Amino acid sequence: MQKWQEISQDPNDPKLLEVRQAEIMAARQANLVSDRVAYLSELARGKNVLDVGVVEHFLDAHENPEWLHRHLASSAASCLGVDLLETETRKLAEAGFNVVAADLTREPLDQQFDLIVAGEVLEHVDAPGKFMKNCAAMLRPDGRLAITVPNPWYVNAVLKSALRSQTFVDSADHVCWYDASTLVELGQRNGLRLLKFVGIAVRKPKKIGAKLFFSLRPLMVACGLSPLLFAKSIIYEFGPLRP
């Protein structure tokens, strides 16, 4: 994807916006991913991997069968977990996991990786540019950064925000929403280029109304609605920005 300054000095130039839109559409994958953990684990297969945010809020998260780090470690050739929560990270290390405590918004690790996974991390970070820059510094020339973030255009968020009687409230410790357009720019400013992105399908809606709505997804997509409307989170994959 081109830096917008290479096309126009006006970031709102209609021709520039057309180019940016076309590039984003080309990176958007048509089908949703049914299993986030399985998708990321396949990306990690046989690679040297860094897993960012390994604690996932609570130490007990590692007992969950869906704990991402366990799956990445079993798929990768090597996998290092990192988190800024020192006490929890130390306890995971004592339990035998290959993890370290570090704040990647401050400085990168002195290592290079084939794949860096940051699952549901960026929306918590108050220095996202520094985080992305440090991730870029840790990528090998052909490496990839895979981040997952909440989707601001998810149907639940859109509908609750549109209704006068309701409002959508996200997790209390999230500080930002990201979409493809903002992530293209954030990546380019910090040495990364967006390669592709794909939505993660909602699994097993609980309420009857939600079950009915999501069962109609194929029909609504066939009628022209974006599949991303049905994705609560999105996986974005970046590579190093080449001259």
Instruction: With 0.85 as the threshold, say if the pTM is over it.
Output: yes
- Mean pLDDT over residues 92-100, rounded? 94
pLDDT above 70 for 81:
yes
Whole-number Å distance between alpha carbons of 221 and 3: 31
- Mean pLDDT over residues 116-144, rounded? 97
Cβ–Cβ < 8 Å for 221, 199: no
Burial call 210-236: b when 16+ CB within 10 Å, e when fewer: eeebbeebeebbeeeeebbbbbbbbbb
Whole-number Å distance between alpha carbons of 193 and 185: 9
Q: What is the pLDDT of residue 55?
A: 94
Give 39-71 pLDDT, tens digit per residue. Answer: 999 999 999 999 999 998 777 888 888 999 999
- Mean pLDDT over residues 161-176, rounded? 89
The hierarchical CATH code for the domain 4-240 is 3.40.50.150
